[in-house]
Structures are given as structure tokens and as C-alpha cells.
Chains A and B, each alone.
Chain A
């Protein structure tokens, strides 16, 4: 295309602002514009003239969660936390049904057996048995009892950092509108709160610890916050904190 043609340039600038260019043409024009002051002037001309049409857009107030997400991002410039939309992965939930877990386990087991059966027979040439006594000491978990004021519900949370596992058992039931809200469990570390996952409002459950999460040495502090359904959209607590309590690890 003869981009030097001023008439054509003017037209491209107008169409760029109007929005009729397809994506490659748009990108091409943007590159061109960075080198050509005259084109930038044309673009600004049309941006301001066509802005007269903006009055037809009716203002609408966005949800508070959008600001929370922006605010989080500008304070954590290296991390990009997109708003949780339908395409985002669902947050971890403590509420894993044992039946599902055991089904998955038996499927895996079955697959393992099937693989074994398809392997060629192994020829054992030499066997050697060495008996070594290894004392197995299970490290004790961090344990926290979480009991919100004015509620019958209590949670016992056990964190096994070595196993990368969190177990929760709930006494009673904590009433929230589960269509709209979720309870989120946090560990409050020196560098701020880190999500451990969603807390069940009743019953027991367990889930893996988030990848890469290190517990600070010594005792830890856990907290529960009330979040939009599915958990905080920002990765940090956005709702009221129900309680914070120590998680103690017996020496």
C-alpha cells in the first residue's frame, strides 16, 4: 500500500479510530503511526471528533472487585492476577469428596497394573537383600483451633508441610450464603497473607498445600476471611476477617 499518499493516510487514521480495520491492519497502522507524527495528529483529530458519539454510552458502576484487583496489581507490579472469569482455573477447595479421591486412586492403580502387564518380562540376574533399620518419625502438624465469635462452628486445621497436606474438620456449621460467599483460609506469613484454600462450612476435608508455599519457622498464624464465592479475586483477602488464630507445632 502507498502509505505516503496523504489522502490514504488520512483515511487509514480515520478508520483506525473508527475501528473497522481487522487485527493485522490495525497492528500495521499502529507501527506506522509510531514513526509518523502526521499520522498521530490525524488519529488525535478523529479521536476527539468521534468522541462526540461517546455520550451514547450509559455509565455503569463496576463491581468493587475490579478496583481490588487493579489495586493489588499496581502494588505487586511483577505479578499479574487476572480477574477470575469463567476461563480461569477454579480455586482449590478443601471440600474434596473422599469418594472422588478414591475413585481417582483406583483408576490410577488400574492404569499402573495395565502398564505392568504390557511391559516385557524382566529378567532378574542378581538379587541382594540389605536390611536397614530406619526410624520413621512423622513430623507433627501445625494445629489451629478456629472458633469465630458468636458461632457454634469450630474448625480444627492441621497443616503437614512435609507432606504438603492440609486437613480440616468442622464441628457444627457456619452459616453463610454459599451462592454468593466463600470462606477462605490464610496463613499470615512475614510477607503477608497467603491463601491456603477455601474452608468448608461443615464437614471434614483435606487438600494439598499450595505449591511453593513455605511455612515460616516456629508457630504460624491462620486467618479466615469472608470472600466472594470461589475465593478472593486478588489473591489477597478482600473481605472482612472473621478471626485470626495461632497454629501451634508441638516441638
Chain B
């Protein structure tokens, strides 16, 4: 269980140059970031490299975190996700795109999710869940593939075997509908 208030304190102490707080921050959060990086990058060596980059960045930029940017773990996960996206843009040509049916299931309602997993999520997960279910199948699939695999429009088009323009509109309509639903 990751305590948001404690992580916020640790980030503040890290920003002030406290190496012990930084170590504690690493111990409390690195497994979450590493899980994300392995899932997105698919290779342990890349994930380790990226994890290292992330925490160097956190050490240097901890002062840019503010609670109004969101929960501290969300902020850390975002740092990791953007790092993964940047790496994928550079390295993706080396990664083989999964064949139809090979990739992990993207079914959204995930019964295997433990309460502990839930504890690291930001507020409004139930709402997001409901809103995702309200999307059309292609829209939902496009959004989830982009989020978990870091696919660009082009990669989505290839993966979903659909024209680029069609895929772009699935993503955009999906995001618009999500927003309408989240704000309703």
C-alpha cells in the first residue's frame, strides 16, 4: 500500500536533496514504475535503463511536483510512462508487433485486479471504468492499445488493420466521449 501523503513528503525531502528520503521514495515506488516499464517496453534491460533514467530525473526535478498535479504516485508513473513512450519512439522498429491474438487481453473489466492494485490508482477509477465501457469497441481498443503499448496512430492502424484516418477518428472520438462521460 502506497501512502500518498508519505510519498508527497518524500518527494519534498528529495527536492531538498535528502538522499535517504530519495532512497525511501525509490523503495516505495520503484516496483510500480518498473512494472509499467516492463509492460510497455517488453524488455527487462530497456526497462532497467528507463527506470534508472526516471529516478535520475526525479532526483533532479522533484521540486516540480506539486500536489495539484495529481497523486504523487500518478506523477511518478507519468514520468515513467513518458520515458517509455520516448524510448519506444526510438526503439520500436526493433520491437516486433504482436500477432493477432498474441498480445495480452485488453478486456477492461479485470477481475484479477487485487485491492492493492486499486490502492495505487488515482481517484475516479470506477468512473473511468464505467466510461470506458461506454465506448464503442474499436474506440475502446484503440485507446487501451495506445495507453498500454504506446502505439502511435500508424502503429495502431497496422495493428488493427484499418486505414490511418479511421484509426485517428476512433482515438479522437473515444477520447471525446470519455471526456464527456467523465464530466457528466
> A residues within 8 Å of B by Cβ?
10-11, 14-15, 18-23, 26, 44, 47-63, 65-67, 69-71, 73-74, 82-83, 85-86
Contacts and interface: CB of A to CB of B under 8 A. Distances in A.
Contacts of A47: 69-70, 74-75, 78
A59 B34 contact: yes
B39 A14 contact: no
Given A53-B147, A83-B48, A26 B85 contact: yes
A67 B85 CA distance: 22
B52 A57 contact: no
B19 A74 contact: yes
Contacts of A63: 48
Contact of A66 (B48, B125, B150): B48
B11 interface: no
Which secondary structure characterizes the binding site on chain B? helix
B124 interface: yes
B55 A70 contact: yes
The 9 A-B pairs at the shortest CB distance, nearest first, are namely A52-B128, A59-B31, A23-B89, A52-B125, A57-B36, A51-B74, A48-B70, A51-B122, A55-B117
B118 interface: yes
A62 B70 contact: no
Contacts of B118: 55
A57 B56 contact: no
Contacts of A70: 26, 52, 55-56, 59
Nearest to A73: B56
A85 B125 contact: no
A22 B143 contact: no
A62 B26 CA distance: 10
Interface string B30-55: 11101110110000011111011001
Which secondary structure characterizes the binding site on chain A? helix
Nearest to B22: A74
Interface of B: 19, 22-23, 26, 30-32, 34-36, 38-39, 45-49, 51-52, 55-56, 59, 68-71, 74-75, 77-78, 81, 85-86, 89-90, 110, 113, 117-118, 120-125, 127-129, 143-144, 146-148, 150-154, 156, 171-172, 175-176, 178-179, 182
B148 A53 contact: yes
B59 A74 contact: yes
B128 A57 contact: no
A50 B71 CA distance: 13
B78 A15 contact: no
Nearest to A14: B175
B1 to A, nearest CB: 12
B151 A15 contact: no
Contacts of A65: 48
Contacts of B68: 44
A47 B56 CA distance: 21
Nearest to A30: B82
Contacts of B125: 52, 55
A54 B52 contact: no
